[in-house]
Amino acid sequence: MATVEITNDNFEDTVSENDIVILDFWASWCGPCRSFGPVFESASERHEDVVFGKVDTEAQQELAAAFGVRSIPMVVLMRGGVPLFGQPGMLPPAAIDDLLKQAREVDMEEVRAEYDKHMAEQAGDESPQS
C-alpha cells in the first residue's frame, strides 16, 4: 500500500477506520524528511495491512500541534485510535518493522482502559477551579 496524505479533514476517518496507522510528520524544506521519505514508502509496501500517512507540517499546522511536533521528521504510531509511539527522527527499516510487530502484539483492551483513565484525569485537571 502506498502512503496517503493525512489532513485535518481525513485524520479522524483514517484513524477510526483502520486498526494501525503510522504517521510521518514532515516538511518539504527538511533534508532528513526527504531522506526518510523513501524508507517510509518502502515500509508501506511491506505492511499492506497498515495505513502509512504523511502529514505535511507546513500545510497541517493544527494537526502537528495536536501531536506536539517540535522536530521533524517525527513518526507516530496509532492503534485503535490510541497513540502508542511517537519519536522524532528517522527510523531505519528494521526499526519500523519491529515497531509494527510490537504494535500488533499489544493488548488493546488494557491500553484502551489506561488511555481512557488518563484522558479522564486530564479532563479533570483542566476543569475550572471554584
Whether 69 is catalytic is: no
Whether 4 is catalytic is: no
80: left (phi over 0), alpha (psi -120 to 50) or beta: left
Q: How many CB atoms lie under 10 A from the CB of residue 73?
A: 25
- From the list 15, 20, 33, 72, the catalytic residue is 33
- From the list 4, 30, 106, 108, the catalytic residue is 30
Active site residues: 30, 33
